[in-house]
Structure 1
Amino acid sequence: MPTARPTRAALSRERIVGEAVALADAEGLGALSMRALAGRLGVEAMSLYHHVPNKDALLDAMVDAVFDEFHLPAPGGDWRAELRKRSVSARLALLRHRWAVGLMDSRPAPGAASVRHHDAVLGCLRAAGFSLAATGHTFALVDAHLYGFMVQELALPFAGQDELAEIGAAIIDEETAAAYPHFTEFARDHAMRPGWSFGAEFEVTLDLVLEAVAGLLDPRAAQVPGAPPAPDPVEVVAPVLGVDGCRAGWVGALLEPGAPRPRVVVAPTIGELVETVRETTDVRVVGIDIPIGLPDSTTRAADALARRALPGKASSVFTTLTRAAYAAADRVTADAVNRSLSGQGVGAQAFALREKILEVDAWLRTRPTLEVLEVHPEVSFAAMTGAPLSPGKRTSEGRDARLAALTAAGIGRPSVLEGRGYGADDVLDACAVAWSAARRAAGLSHRLPDPPEVFSDGIPAAIHV
């Protein structure tokens, strides 16, 4: 009886392009030829030309396939969040397809995915109120940041902190240090510190770009206040840490890609907590339930907007005191100082958090090499569910409601709920903060206000959701 031949997948344009992308990913663009591609597909080279007329057409199709992996900005939403998500997704796509960086936007015959992508970016900016000229300026600057950063990132002569340290040690001898003090200071005190990576600069600099182009927006255009809560569960794309204060000091909920549930970590100080986590995990974003960015002589817009987001539960957001009031040794003095500066008295809750607020403020001034966000757990829970959670967080009903909200939002039940020096309400608040941090890492979060306020301390003051 004759042996049946194994069936071979039918040759198609999609299959050819997919295999060409895989070949370029594995061996580089220089290894791509029609003959090599035919060999991978198990066909004669001439059979490829029934589907792609020539190699240029194949490259056009490959670039189009990469564009298809970029996030398509949606018009009518939060334009910053949409453009941010687009650039973050584009960087990840270009890290997967390193050969493509120099080819994007350079093909004379762009495909449908390329045109669709450009149309979506343009539509998002126009819907936000950018003029045609401002739309062109913004698109050019955002793309210059994306492709310029990728060219530099992919060309770096080191793959990690260890290799960077070796290169730095070889370059910076005593003579170099004496001749070039600024270069030496940056290398030794910043770039060569544990935890720093060039890739982490991408989102920081992207936010600076988006902040800059916001000034091009027509002030008469209707503003979209904030992105609506995402209906789908959050995708954890990078390790993030959510932090809440507790009796033991600080409790953190660590989310990692692929992990089924948050890992709970406790430490007496915020610095120790973060460093403990960073010993084993390259955490990218830390969210903290504490005011960040202290006003000089006013109240904060972040607090007012958070109250507005919590109808019926506005009392859960206390008014942040002025920096001078927090410097006072007791509440009576703080009350007098704050009234003289902002006209507001000092509530017991606001002053009770004085030590933790000053601790985080001092820690931020050490310039930790990661992104630190202010998050309000009740605002995060309201965003998850579409409305504030009415049961108190220390009640069994409130605990169950918060666990259900986290589960629906894609956050599994924490590894532990309570322990020595921290309760279930602390852990669940830390998980809600971690949810907002994960949204930030994925380019989905928005800020209250946007752009943030900046006081004399130079720290952006905004609550992230």
Structure 2
Amino acid sequence: MPARTPRPDRPALTRERIVSEAVALADGSGVAALSMRALAGRLGVEAMSLYHHVPHKDAVLDAMVDAVFAEFHTPVPGRSWREELRRRSVVGRETLLRHRWAVGLMDSSRSPGPEAVAHHDAVLGCLRTAGFSLAATGHAFALVDAHLYGFMLQELALPFDDQAELAVIESEIVDEATAAAFPHFTEFAREHALRPGWSFGAEFEVTLDLVLDAVAGLVDEPAASAAGSPPGPPPPIEVTVPVLGVDGCRAGWVGALLEPGAPRPRVVVAPTIVELVEAVRESTDVRVVGIDIPIGLPDSTTRQADALARQALPGKASSVFTTLTRAAYGAEDRAAADAVNRSLSGQGVGAQAFALRDKILEVDAWVRSRPTVEVLEVHPEVSFATMAGAPLRPGKKTPDGRAARLEALAAAGVPRPSVLEGRGYAADDVLDACAVAWTAARRTAGLSRRLPDPPEVFSDGIPATIHA
């Protein structure tokens, strides 16, 4: 009897087709539903036909995991290790949300496939070329993977998908007696988890940045040197022309004005950036305005300025959020912005980045109107790190953080400001504005540096660089 020929309307059976169908089966029904018989049925062949291409079910599972690794971002050695590992984790989470069955299998194979081996080699190479020792590389890889896979196991196991379901669960388990017995649990649920806009998934990138902060402490050569940080504190600044440092606050904007011969910074508050600058210019011919807000919005990438600022802040890099694409800032809400930004740059949208949307767009419109002052983007934490010779560890809202910032400013030639807090602005807002003003004064003296230098320029034509 002549051999049967394949039906012309059925694709040839290949290893790639078997693996693709196995992944689809697991995506739809879970990995427990995977069997050689079930897989053959989906492919329209006899189960024995599969063994011409894969020796057994475990080989299929190994190949499925390899296919998932192929969807991860592969870090590029020689680029910023932090940005590469961050993108790897963010894309990894997105991949594992598509292939939920894979979380517990990613590093379980005794025979990893070529994609898995190449991926691990790239991660190791990214860390090694950045100056991590072999031991530190092992620590860093383990920590980053523990965050990714541990977070995913928890996220996928949660008994709710959104806040509405969470609210139902909370109402079922928290009554008056429970609230009295477990006040901290109740407070967290009602005052944090059930607040509009919260989601467990949004914690991923926040906690990822904290993990990467810890990893930065393992590198043999501090990452700050890669960004050109000075080895120690610079001498006190001499203010020769009026400059204004600006920070956002609840009232709108708070400015710290440094003037030649003035005994201390003068604090000015206004609801808009235009009104603030106009109010200052009524009494002094301010030349340079530094502002703690992203200036120069990317089209479809992340910004070098943000990456270099993080490198300059080992242990404090989470204070630098990733600037969104211009199109994402034009979205109506965070969910829409997240979808737009992921499609363009592959990055999700953090709460802080989107919360500043209105202020970012306000400054963007002002800068594009071509004001008659030089406008600089400044990050206060980078400025404080520059003036102190190292990042300031205490949080800026703590008493120790306030004291450390006042001390750093005084040593850098900026006395205690005229006021520290008032209606609509806090002490940390004022001190940040003072640090920004200090950098603006360095700019006029030709002492400041730019991250990057030369600046990036996107389609808006605005140089994107952080001054320090």
TM-score range, shorter chain: 0.5 to 0.7
- The one-letter amino acid paired with 2:180 is A
Q: Give the direction of change, closer, same or farther, for the CA distance of 1:386–1:88 in structure 2 (3 Å limit).
A: closer
How far off its partner does 1:379 sit? 7.1
- The one-letter amino acid paired with 1:204 is V
Match runs of 1:4-15 below 5 Å: 6-15=8-17
Match of 2:197 among 195, 198, 201: 195
Deviations 1:222-273 (A, max 9, x none): 94439xxxxxxxxxxxxxxxxxxxxxxxxxxxxxxxxxxxxxxxxxxxxxxx
How far off its partner does 1:327 sit? 12
Q: Give the direction of change, closer, same or farther, for the CA distance of 1:437–1:214 in structure 2 (3 Å limit).
A: farther
Q: Distance in 2 between matches of 1:71 and 1:95?
A: 15
Q: Distance in 1 between matches of 2:253 and 2:95?
A: 51
Match of 1:40 among 25, 39, 42: 42
Contact 1:75/1:120 (8 A) holds in 2:
yes
- The one-letter amino acid paired with 2:13 is L
Same amino acid, percent of matched pairs: 57
- The one-letter amino acid paired with 2:347 is A
Match runs of 1:423-438 below 5 Å: none
Q: Distance in 2 between matches of 1:115 and 1:190?
A: 41
Q: Distance in 2 between matches of 1:75 and 1:208?
A: 22
1:441 equivalent in structure 2 = 347
Deviations 1:415-463 (A, max 9, x none): 9xxxxxxxxxxxxxxx9xx989975935999x96779767623689899
The answer to whether 1:75 aligns with 2:15 is: no
Q: Distance in 1 between matches of 2:70 and 2:254?
A: 58
Q: Give the direction of change, closer, same or farther, for the CA distance of 1:436–1:118 in structure 2 (3 Å limit).
A: closer
- The one-letter amino acid paired with 1:377 is I
Contact 1:91/1:146 (8 A) holds in 2:
yes
2:294 equivalent in structure 1 = 376
Q: Distance in 2 between matches of 1:188 and 1:40?
A: 47
3-state DSSP of counterpart to 2:27: helix
Match of 1:124 among 120, 123, 126: 126
Q: Distance in 1 between matches of 2:134 and 2:255?
A: 56
Q: Distance in 2 between matches of 1:175 and 1:148?
A: 33
User: TM-score with structure 2 length normalisation?
Assistant: 0.56
Match runs of 1:351-362 below 5 Å: 351=268, 354-356=270-272
Q: Distance in 2 between matches of 1:148 and 1:25?
A: 20
Contact 1:77/1:224 (8 A) holds in 2:
no
When Rg is computed on C-alpha atoms for both structures, the one with the higher figure is: 2
- The one-letter amino acid paired with 1:26 is G
1:289 equivalent in structure 2 = none
Q: Give the direction of change, closer, same or farther, for the CA distance of 1:223–1:204 in structure 2 (3 Å limit).
A: same
Q: Distance in 1 between matches of 2:178 and 2:208?
A: 32
How far off its partner does 1:375 sit? 3.9
3-state DSSP of counterpart to 1:320: strand
Contact 1:81/1:443 (8 A) holds in 2:
no
Q: Which runs of 5+ in 1 are unaligned?
A: 227-297, 300-314, 358-372, 388-408, 416-430
2:187 equivalent in structure 1 = 185
Match of 1:52 among 51, 54, 59: 54
Q: Give the direction of change, closer, same or farther, for the CA distance of 1:440–1:30 in structure 2 (3 Å limit).
A: closer
- The one-letter amino acid paired with 2:295 is P
Q: Give the direction of change, closer, same or farther, for the CA distance of 1:413–1:88 in structure 2 (3 Å limit).
A: closer
Q: Give the direction of change, closer, same or farther, for the CA distance of 1:110–1:216 in structure 2 (3 Å limit).
A: same
Match runs of 1:257-276 below 5 Å: none
Deviations 1:41-94 (A, max 9, x none): 011100100110000111000001001110001111111110000000000010
Q: Give the direction of change, closer, same or farther, for the CA distance of 1:99–1:356 in structure 2 (3 Å limit).
A: same
Q: Give the direction of change, closer, same or farther, for the CA distance of 1:56–1:339 in structure 2 (3 Å limit).
A: farther
Match runs of 1:343-358 below 5 Å: 351=268, 354-356=270-272
How far off its partner does 1:126 sit? 0.7
Contact 1:129/1:222 (8 A) holds in 2:
no
2:397 equivalent in structure 1 = 457
Q: Distance in 1 between matches of 2:183 and 2:260?
A: 43
Contact 2:248/2:254 (8 A) holds in 1:
no
